[in-house]
Every structure is written in C-alpha cells, then in structure tokens.
C-alpha cells in the first residue's frame, strides 16, 4: 500500500489530503494508518476499492472510513467523427488567462453529484472551490487541456471540458460542465461530440473516464448513448481527521 499527497485538494481543504492506492488486506491497516498520520498529519484520506472486494471495504470501515461515493471507471474507443455542423457552437482551446474566467464560473456551480458536495462533514462551497482549482490546474499543466464551447450568436461560454493526455493515442477525461442556463438542452452531448472530434483529429483513439454512479444523466449519456464501456465500479471510502472542515 502507498499514500499520495493530493496537492489540489490539500490547498482547498487547508491541510494535507491523501489518497491510498494498491490496498493490501494482508498489511496491518491500523499500523499503516499510524505511519501516514505521523508523517503527513492529514485532514482527509480517501481510498478506492473495487465494489466486489467487500472484505477490504469492511477493513476500512472498521478503521473509521465511510462510504462516500460509488464511482464507475469506463472507456470509449474513438472510431468516428460526429457531424456538429448544424449546431451554432465553437469548441475552442482555452489558452489565455482572460478566457478562463467564464469556464471557472461554470466549474464552480455546475456539479452536484460529487463526493465533496454530498458530504455532510464538509462545508458548503468546498466542492465548487475544488473544481475551480482543478480546472486551473488543467490550464497550467503541460499534459492537460481546457476547452470551452462558445455560442456563436452570443459569444457566451455555455460548457467546458478538460482532459489529460496519457499518450499520443489515449486521454483521461477529467471534468466537463454545462452552464446552468443551458442544461437539458442537449448542450452536454454537443460538448462531448466536439471533444471527441478534436481528439480524433489529433490521433487519439481511446478515452478513460470516472463518473459518479449517482450521476444518472451522465451515466445514461456516456454509457447509454456514447458507447462507453464499464470497466470497474469502486467504493470510494473516506476518513476526515479534524472535525468539520471549513
């Protein structure tokens, strides 16, 4: 087992946030926990366990971790271009600081199914601040990218997408959001189509994503309509070490 310091989350929560990976039930978890607490003095620690490994989930429960989200890992093969010519939107890379503001506004208000916004132990507003921080991180990272969907008629930014380039042929889809005024109008699907087209033009042929199992609209869109295939379903466990965070 190992722990990684999650810098963006640590900034937002105001203390060290850790993620446990390579969970090993043969290791004494209580002793392992004492080690990372001594080294990092964390405020929040999470661990993702495949749902079928119930005994490992129960080990974490016995140590004070609680289930906060069921998360789905899915993949899609990019095989064809989508016709978006009839839509009056432009899908543009965000490369200037002044163009990032409208994207950050959407990122701060659009998410409602993530484990930070639904966690009663975390202060309201943390989720929006966290997603704004992750979009800014993508804007600044050389292996990540931010794109925006712009209404040609009004020049208004109506949606955004971020992703990380894993290789020349693979990406990890990160965040995507639609402006509240444009939800339930099909903009989310157009946003996906435009991203797929752009990636295919760059030679990318495989995309991986993680979605909350409670986010039914996105689950139905990506798995039901866009051809994503479920790879793994995780129980996301978390433990908060310093009372309610503000």
pLDDT of residue 220: 87
Residue 246 has pLDDT above 70, yes or no: no
Looking at the chain, the whole-number percentage of residues with pLDDT higher than 70 is: 98
For the stretch 73-92, what's the b/e string if a residue is b when 16 or more beta carbons lie within 10 angstroms of its beta carbon?
A: bbebebeeeeebeebebebe
pLDDT at 4 over 60: yes
- Cα 172 to Cα 165: distance, rounded to the nearest angstrom: 6
pLDDT band at 183 (very low <50, low <70, confident <90, very high): confident
Name the residue among 138, 144, 142 with its Cα closest to residue 107. Answer: 138
Task: Show me where the domains of the chain are located.
Answer: 2-70+235-240, 76-233
Measure the CA–CA gap between 177 and 161, rounded to whole angstroms.
7
Per-residue buried b or exposed e for 56-71, using 16+ beta carbons within 10 Å of the residue's own CB: bbebbeeeebeebbeb
Q: Average pLDDT of 194-212?
A: 97
Q: Provide the pLDDT for residue 244.
A: 40
- According to the CATH classification, is domain 76-233 in 3.40.630.30? yes
Six-digit token string for 233: 């379903």
Per-residue confidence (pLDDT) for residue 245, from 0 to 100: 43
Round to whole Å and give the CA distance between 200 and 97: 26
- Per the structure block, which two tokens stand in for 4? 């990684």
Q: Using the predicted structure, report yes or no on whether residue 224 has a pLDDT greater than 90.
A: no
Residue 243 has pLDDT above 60, yes or no: no
CA-based nearest residue to 239, from 10, 14, 15, 64 = 64
């Amino acid at each position: 087992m190992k722990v990684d310091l999650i810098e963006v989350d640590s900034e937002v929560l105001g203390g060290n946030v850790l993620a446990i990976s390579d969970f090993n039930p043969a290791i004494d978890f209580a002793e392992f926990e004492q080690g990372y607490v001594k080294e990092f003095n964390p405020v929040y620690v999470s661990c993702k366990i495949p749902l079928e490994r119930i005994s490992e989930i129960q080990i974490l429960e016995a140590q004070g971790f609680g289930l906060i989200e069921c998360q789905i890992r899915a993949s899609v093969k990019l095989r064809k271009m989508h016709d978006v010519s009839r839509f009056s939107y432009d899908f543009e890379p965000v490369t200037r600081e002044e163009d990032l503001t409208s994207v950050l506004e959407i990122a701060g208000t659009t998410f409602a199914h993530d484990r930070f916004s639904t966690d009663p132990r975390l202060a309201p507003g943390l989720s929006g601040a966290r997603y704004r921080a992750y979009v800014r991180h993508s804007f600044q990272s050389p292996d990540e990218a931010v794109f925006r969907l712009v209404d040609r008629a009004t020049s208004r930014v109506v949606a955004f997408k971020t992703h990380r380039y894993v290789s020349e042929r693979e990406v990890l889809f990160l965040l995507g959001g639609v402006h509240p005024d444009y939800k339930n109008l099909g903009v989310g699907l157009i946003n996906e189509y435009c991203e797929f087209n752009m990636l295919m033009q760059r030679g990318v042929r495989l995309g991986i994503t993680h979605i909350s199992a409670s986010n039914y609209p996105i689950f139905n869109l990506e798995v039901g309509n866009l051809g994503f295939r479920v790879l793994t379903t995780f129980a996301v466990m978390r433990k908060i070490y310093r009372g309610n965070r503000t």
